[in-house]
Structure 1
Amino acid sequence: MSMNISSSMDIENDFWNISLQGELDVSTADKLKEHLHSLADKKIIDMKINLTNLEYIDSTGLGVMIGILKKLKISDKEIYIINPKSNVKKIFTITGLDKIFKVEG
């Protein structure tokens, strides 16, 4: 399966609003990595990643998110994980990443 990414900057509140749809795995992780790094290269601000329509995430996808979080943390910025489905949220909980990312919903 593929993954669709949409993003926009919330200028008023100063964060990137990113939505993922589909599956984030080894076949789609590079696409997300390039997208997130290009946003961070434009402006280092908090990222809110909406996972409402993300069906699946694997360790490669988590690795991409950890990588961009490290880049943001240098400037004291965060990644907020918004509305993950229960199976996706469970992955964040099992791996302990729910304590590193701000998971909401």
Structure 2
Amino acid sequence: MSMNIDSKLNNENSFWDISLRGELDVSTADKLKEHLHNLADEKILDMKINLENLDYIDSTGLGAMIGVLKKLKTDNKEIYIINPKSNVKKIFTITGLDKIFKVEG
């Protein structure tokens, strides 16, 4: 399965608005990692990642997000996880990452 990433800079509120669609796993994690790091290199801002169309996430996908979060945290920025499906939200809860990321919805 593949994953699509849409992102845009929200200048009004100063954050990256990112939407993921498909499956975030070992075959797509590097794509996400590269994309998020490029955004952070362009401008260090909070990232709001909308997961309402993400069907699946595994540990490599979580790892990609953790790596970018560490980079953002050096400038006191956060990653907000928005609208995760119940199966995806469950992974954040089971791993305790719902305490590290700001999970909403």
Counterpart for residue 23 of structure 1 = 23
1:67 aligns with 2:67: yes
Q: Which runs of 5+ in 2 are unaligned?
A: none
1:80-101: CA deviations, max 9, x gaps? 0000000000000000000000
- CA offsets per residue over residues 45-68 of structure 1, 9 Å max, x none? 000000000000000000000000
The one-letter code of the counterpart of 2:19 is: S
Percent of residue pairs identical: 83
Structure 1 segments (4+ residues) deviating >2 Å: none
Counterpart of 1:47 in structure 2 is 47
Q: TM-score, normalised by structure 1?
A: 1.00
TM-score, with length taken from structure 2? 1.00
5+ residue gaps, structure 1: none
After superposition, where does 1:1-105 map in structure 2 within 5 Å? 1-105=1-105
Tell me how large the CA RMSD over aligned residues is.
0.2
Q: Which amino acid aligns with 2:74?
A: I
Query: How many Å apart are 1:77 and its aligned residue?
Result: 0.1
